[in-house]
Every structure is written in C-alpha cells, then in structure tokens.
Amino acid sequence: MSFRLNMVQPILTLIYNPACNKCNKALSILHKTLEQQPGIFNLDLLDYQKTPLTRDQLRNIVQYLNIENDLSKILRNEDGTVKEGDATTKIEQPKSIQELTNIIKEQPIRLQRPILVDWDKGKAIIARPAEKVDGFLKELGYTKE
C-alpha cells in the first residue's frame, strides 16, 4: 500500500496598489519566479485600498518586520511630515497597533508598499526597491542563487 503526504504549498501575500510602479515591478518578479519554478508557492494578491488590512494582520506584519518599537516605518512619510507647497505639516505617528490601523483605514495611501508576507514562516519585507523580493525569496529558501 502506498500513500502520499498532503503537501501544502506556502502562500505568499503581496500587499500592493495596482496603480503603483514599484508594486507592479515586485509582482512581475514574483510572476517570473513562478514561471521558472511553478508551484514553489501560491501567490495571494491583496489590494489594500479595496480590502483594508485588519488589526490582526497589521500586528503580525509589524512583528514580522520587527518594527514594534517604531510603527511609523510601515508608513510613508515616516519622518512625520508632509509637504504641501512650501509648507511642511507634522502628521500623526502611531503609538499602538490600533492607532496604526486607524491611520491606514483613514489614509490608506500612507501604507508603505509593496509588502510581501510569508504568513507560515512569519517573515515580511517592504519591497522598496522591488528587487528586494529576489533576496527575500532566496532567504526563505524558495529560490537559489
């Protein structure tokens, strides 16, 4: 009698904005990897503007990025300012996951993107520049040199 172990493919989630060039470049790199090594992982795409991240998803991503002590690193304009013409305005910086969730819900464009997440391995990267995707896939053992 023979049997086969149920092998579950890892799922990588790309949190992205389809109108963003850097996001599309990261997506292209992922598609190219899947063309070269079909089935190495399943790719899940999450347009965060249409489907906002939940508080639990954000909490996990922050942990995976190892930025619990500086939540602003997951936001654009992490220096805490935004320029409008000649004026520079101070913007709210999150002090908790709940505050971060609220900021992203109210101003989704502030979320850094693209973000690539391996939920099973508990790892994530902000893929800026998009070429970081290659290194991340190698680090996780999905691709070789």
CB burial of residue 66 (10 Å; 0-12, 13-18, 19+)? exposed
> For domain 11-139, is the CATH number 3.40.50.970?
no
pLDDT tens-digit series, residues 86-105: 555 566 689 999 999 999 99
- The model carries a pTM of 0.86
pLDDT tens-digit series, residues 1-39: 555 555 678 999 999 999 999 999 999 999 999 999 999
According to the model, what pLDDT value does residue 144 have?
78
Mean pLDDT throughout 30-52? 95
**Domain residue ranges of the chain, discontinuous segments joined by +:** 11-139
